[in-house]
């Protein structure tokens, strides 16, 4: 088991601990956006995971994707492993709609906008309910 990078703790909120991944909601009002962080030490790339964990990661990406699609208005899902800034392996799962502020581009060109406390709490509750926390 490893520790979640401090930058994630600051910018996101715990939703659930799945078997492999910690799931956290990013504090960005512009897009419903979660990250999946595999609880394995010193892993920066998908190919460094053992085969059993890679298949588990795929399973948890699929499970989380379906929940995101069900929970938020979603025209399309973006699923991304970037890790240029924070190297600890993490997968972004982002609900995209044609009306969001970056469409049709990926989300990275748009400055983040934090949630109001009430919408943040509402989304945490919605997600935790969907994940059956």
Interstrand relation of 91-96 and 33-38 (parallel, antiparallel or unpaired): antiparallel
Q: Does 130 bind its own copies (CB under 8 A)?
A: no
Residue 52 binding its own copies, by CB under 8 A: no
For residue 96, the minimal CB distance to its own copies (Å) is 6
**110 near its own copies, rule: CB under 8 A:** no
Rounded least distance, CB 117 to its own copies, Å? 29
Residue 1 binds to its own copies (criterion: CB under 8 A):
no
Q: End-to-end CA distance of the chain, in Å?
A: 20
Task: Write the CA distances from 21 to 53, 100, 118, 123, 130, integer angstroms.
Answer: 10, 27, 26, 19, 16
The rounded distance, in Å, linking the Cα atoms of 59 and 120 is 26
Determine if 101 is a binding residue for its own copies (CB under 8 A): no
Question: CA 109 to CA 125: how far, in whole Å?
Answer: 28
Nearer to its own copies, 55 or 114 (CB): 55
Q: Which of 63, 7, 10 lies closest to 36, judged by CA?
A: 63
11 forms part of the interface with its own copies (CB under 8 A) = no
The structure tokens listed for 38 are 């595999």
Measured from the CB atom, is 13 or 90 closer to its own copies?
90
Among 21, 57, 90, 95, binds its own copies (CB under 8 A): 57
- Residues making contact with its own copies (CB under 8 A): 44-47, 54-55, 57-59, 61-62, 65-66, 76-85, 87, 96, 103-106, 108-109
């Amino acid at each position: 088991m490893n520790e979640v990078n401090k930058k994630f703790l600051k910018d996101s909120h715990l939703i659930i601990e799945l078997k492999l991944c910690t799931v956290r909601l990013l504090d960005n009002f512009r897009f419903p956006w979660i990250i999946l962080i595999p609880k394995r030490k010193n892993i920066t790339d998908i190919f460094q995971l053992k085969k059993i964990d890679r298949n588990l990661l795929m399973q948890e990406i699929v499970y989380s994707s379906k929940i995101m699609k069900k929970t938020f208005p979603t025209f399309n899902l973006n699923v991304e492993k970037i890790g240029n800034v924070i190297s600890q392996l993490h997968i972004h799962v982002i609900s995209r709609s044609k009306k969001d502020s970056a469409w049709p581009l990926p989300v990275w060109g748009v400055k983040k906008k934090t949630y109001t406390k009430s919408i943040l709490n509402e989304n945490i509750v919605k997600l935790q309910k969907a994940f059956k926390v």
